[in-house]
Structure 1
Amino acid sequence: MQDKATLNPTPDQTFEIVGQGAYDFVRVLTHSKQLQRQGRVEEACNERFHAFQRISELLPEDEEVILEWEDPNTRAALEVIHASAIDHFLINDFEMSTAMLELLLELDPEDHLEAIILLAFNYLAMEEYELFDEVSNDISDKYACKEVLTMWAAFRRSGRIPEGDAIRFRTRFAPYFAEFTSDEHPADGQYLEDIESERPSVQAQARELWLRTENLWTLFPDFIAALRR
């Protein structure tokens, strides 16, 4: 099958990526997930990154482009960008992850994938506090990750977690506090079955947040130590 793609405008002033072969991003995304499940993580990451590069090359340099979320192939392309941004975040390549997420938000201003949350973690890791302040306002206070971000931001800036923030996290988000102060965070079969179910438990969601950000706490262990005190 020949590799080819076009960026087609829609009546809603968005664009769809119509492609085949290497530009069939539904297939690319599915295959990368299969590789991941087989433990071929590096291959999966490379596949997503190369797909991201192909998407970038499709985009005009001097024109605003909003991609059509409702189109399956275009949505898969957005999901590929997000997944590759996560890949880079997990290896502490915060600059590349940030560049991908900023592009993603330009292409999908409604932020269907909630890319802004990972972007906020990236900004804090890079000590980009003004940028963090801008995006953190758009993250709902209902999310436990917002509380983690708020505490970590204060800790990054001052070396301490405000007592009120710590108390609120411990009481309002108790399962998350328990997870973040635990010595063990197994991604075992029980957890995987729980998190992949239709209604995952709060405990599983707490572990998911830990596992998604564990690289940060390995890199910046003082924050977790302060949280445990």
Structure 2
Amino acid sequence: MIIEQFMQEVVVLSVFILSALVWAGAAAGDAQFVAAILDDEKFVCAGAILSEKWIVTAGHCVKLLKPKDIKVVVGTTDYTKPGQTLKVASIEEHPKFADITSFNYDIALLKLASDIKLDDKTRKIDLTGSDIKSKEQLQITGWKRAKDTNLKSLKSEAIKDNNDCDQLSEDVADNLFCLAKSQKETYGELGSRDLQGGPIVGAENKLDGIIYKLVKPKQIVGLAMRLNNFSKWIKETMQKK
């Protein structure tokens, strides 16, 4: 499908490929605020539940999709066994995310056609109210773009100062922050297209970011969108639409 061609272009931008990173199977509690975004029946990206009506994800995940093509699955660690499946009413891209080259604004909101039923398997997560802190311990959840349909969870830490990760790639920008590998984890294989759109939760158990892409120069393992930079746009969009 057309989304596959677009994802291939995203991979070309990834100068480095992450060949080894830490992961583990995610528990049911880890999945409560995580959404799986599907193009018809094919997995595309993860996202996070902001409210009964709104999902936040990476902009490139839905750039070439139409609302009618998207299904959102919540309330499960296995997106082939949904707790709830919802249709999408509209895709709200950041106004500065014009194309794939505008990675610094790679964020989108999905407005659902019906409300998510919040219960013991499904809950919303609040946006962080503060900027990411250097060395802050983070938990990332998301899915592989492979046959494994089970949610994955990994731990990392934030590198706040982009000057510390200039070698990451030419994609470093004000709205991105870097992720450093946790030394306490065991190793597994994870590719640059995996976990995209996956929510990143910090020390306050609030949503600090979403995965933009995974890479691997030295100890740095990925780039993430800094959601605190987008909180005003997110809140205004959710109120107006």
The TM tier, using the shorter chain, reads under 0.3
Of Structure 1 and Structure 2, the greater helix share is in 1
- TM-score, structure 2 as length reference: 0.27
Of Structure 1 and Structure 2, the greater strand share is in 2
Which structure's CA Rg is the greater one?
1
Query: Which of 1 and 2 has higher RCO (CA within 8 Å, sep 6+)?
Result: 2
- TM-score, structure 1 as length reference: 0.28
